[in-house]
Amino acid sequence: MLLSVFLDVAGAVVADANIGFIGVPDGAGYFVVRRISDPKAIEGSLHVGDRVRLTDPSPANQFRFLRERPGDRFEMTGKAAAGAPLRIVATMVPIGLPPPSFAVYELLRLALVFVGLIVVIRRPNDEIAGLLVVLFFGAAVLFQAGAPFYPIWLTATLFILARVAQIGVAWAALALGTTFPRPSARGLRRWLERANLPYSVLCLITIAAALTFAFIGDTSPPFALQALGLIETVVFFIAAAIAFVIGAREATGADRKRVQWVAWSLGVGFSGSLVAVALLVMGVPDERAYEWVGLTFLAIPFGLGYAIVRHRVVDVGFVINRALVFAIVSAIVLLAFGALEWLLGNVLVKVSHITSASLELGLALVLGFSLRSMHLKIDALVDDLFFRDRHRAEHALRTFAREVGYITEPREAIDRTRQELLAFSGSSSVAIYVVAGARAIRVDASGAAPIGIDDPALVRMRATRDVVTLADVRSVLAGERAFPMTVHDAVVGTIVLGPKANGEAYAPDELATIATVVAALGNALDALQTAALRREVARVLQDGAPLDTLRRTVDSAAWVDGVAPQPAGSLLGLGE
């Protein structure tokens, strides 16, 4: 597919051609001449308003015509505007460099292929990732231009694949709407999910029938078939919109934000196709209008790429982030050399070849020496563009993780930890538990019921020492993520965070930062209890103080009531 993009560009630069006139189909197999672009390419008399068609209407000759290779000659017959018969021979003539829209479309294809490759490599077994790959690759095939030096069989194959890709893109969009973030168990959305594949097959049959009329029957498809194709297209759009609306209503928290981003990206991306359908219905003949309305597809790779990075539709955000940095650096280098070539060719035309080579070598040396600093600055710029607020919050949490060990009162350490996590993690709730014997007691709020140490979330944390997604276990802990509070490899408590208040998901670096804060609190409380034990032992030995206070300090339940966990390793029977 990347080779196809390269060949498209090469063909457009060195071998782009047209037939010498601009015509639009009239619905009866003829082209109505709208403009004579190059009279020298036409042997015979041809005027605006004349109607012409290929003398040889075989599929092979029609695909030769679509290929637009310079030098290819075509005999055409038809009728003049006045009604007289006419016969001409038209030759494909080079037309120079392609318009700016061509470069935009090829960059769009590169973006689609690039993002699709990243997703398929990083998440090969993810169903949602598979739908995104079909969407990206299908759109990339849809926008292929076709190189003039392709053999006829390859031109025909790519032309047919582009029509099939239309259905593939529509199927993938509707499939995303009906299954992302998760399918509906019943209702209209579930019905649309089941109807998607058979409806796509029906659309393929319609396209096959239209191609049969065009290339074998040598005539335009009947009006009823054309109308059916337009209706099928509009129905696809409506069905996808309904599916996304229902999916957004059923989703909660971070999933709702993801659905909204995917829906808006696809909605804006496909809006140009809706405009094109409207132009077809109104009979607008201007090809430039169709040329530019398709650029709304740019919203799909960039909108979904941003959603992948920012909202983690699939977990490849880091890779796309790095790829974006690489792409920007590469673009700067290419633009610098392109600008120099333009300057030498258009402004400094009198500069000798030796001087020109020296300037290019000098530019290469400057870019080479500045490449590392350029990469670092762009890396920081891209990272700051996407994650500025998040990095500030993470810095604040890391700073607190270093400071919490110097707080001298356990209650103050617990309260400050809760406040910092609420302020900088984005969580909607924070609950702090410490293990006391056979229970885990919440110490940041009074009146909360304790939980057993064999709660599935606590068991999972003891087994893995890792963050637990509470939706994956049958725990009585209320929240989204539970972070193990470990001291000397023993789980002595947990901090439970609710979903983010803004509906987004926790990023991997955010989870790591929060885990650092939780571990720091555990170590700080353990150190405070150890210091308390030393003081009580000294009072008993030196001052003859009663043992009651010492017993309360050593006893885990009594110490938890005093808002600090037992020392690491003091719990028996947990196998830690």
Q: What CATH number does the domain containing 448 carry?
A: 3.30.450.40
226 and 148 both lie in a single domain: yes
145 and 268 both lie in a single domain: yes
230 and 288 both lie in a single domain: yes
203 and 293 both lie in a single domain: yes
Three-class DSSP category at 219:
coil
308 and 435 both lie in a single domain: no
129 and 266 both lie in a single domain: yes
Q: Among 324, 330, 7, which residue's Cα sits nearest to residue 149? A: 7
User: What domain range is 77 assigned to?
Assistant: 17-94
Structure tokens at 197: 């594949």
User: Counting beta carbons within 10 angstroms of the beta carbon of residue 549, is it exposed (0 to 12), middle (13 to 18) or buried (19 or more)?
Assistant: middle
In this structure, are residues 480 and 501 in contact, taking their beta carbons and an 8 Å threshold?
A: no
329 and 445 both lie in a single domain: no
123 and 77 both lie in a single domain: no
* The pLDDT value given to residue 411: 84
174 and 237 both lie in a single domain: yes
Domain boundary among 254, 287, 315: 315
**Rounded-to-integer distance, Cα 517 and Cα 162, Å:** 53
- Among all chains, which residue has been given the structure tokens 């054309």? 226
331 and 456 both lie in a single domain: no
- In 335-367, which positions are buried (b, 16+ CB within 10 angstroms) versus exposed (e)? eeeeebeeebeeeeeeeeeeebeeeeeeeeeee
522 and 426 both lie in a single domain: yes
pLDDT in tens, the chain (576 residues): 667 767 776 776 667 788 888 887 777 778 888 888 888 889 998 999 999 999 998 888 988 888 888 889 999 999 998 889 999 999 998 877 776 677 777 777 877 787 777 777 766 777 887 888 888 888 888 877 777 878 888 888 888 998 899 899 999 999 989 988 788 888 999 999 999 999 999 999 999 998 888 888 777 788 888 889 889 988 999 999 999 999 888 887 667 777 888 888 888 888 887 787 777 667 665 566 666 677 777 777 777 766 665 555 554 455 455 555 655 666 666 566 566 555 655 555 455 555 556 665 665 666 666 667 776 777 677 666 667 777 888 899 999 999 999 998 888 899 999 999 999 998 989 999 988 878 888 888 766 788 998 999 999 999 999 999 998 888 999 899 999 999 888 898 999 999 888 767 787 888 999 999 999 999 998 888 888 777 777 777 777 767 666 666 565 445 555 544 444 444 333 333
Half-sphere exposure of 428 (CA within 13 A, CB side): 13
Asked whether residue 567 is assigned to any structural domain, the reply reads no
pTM of the entire structure? Answer: 0.60
In this structure, are residues 16 and 68 in contact, taking their beta carbons and an 8 Å threshold?
A: yes
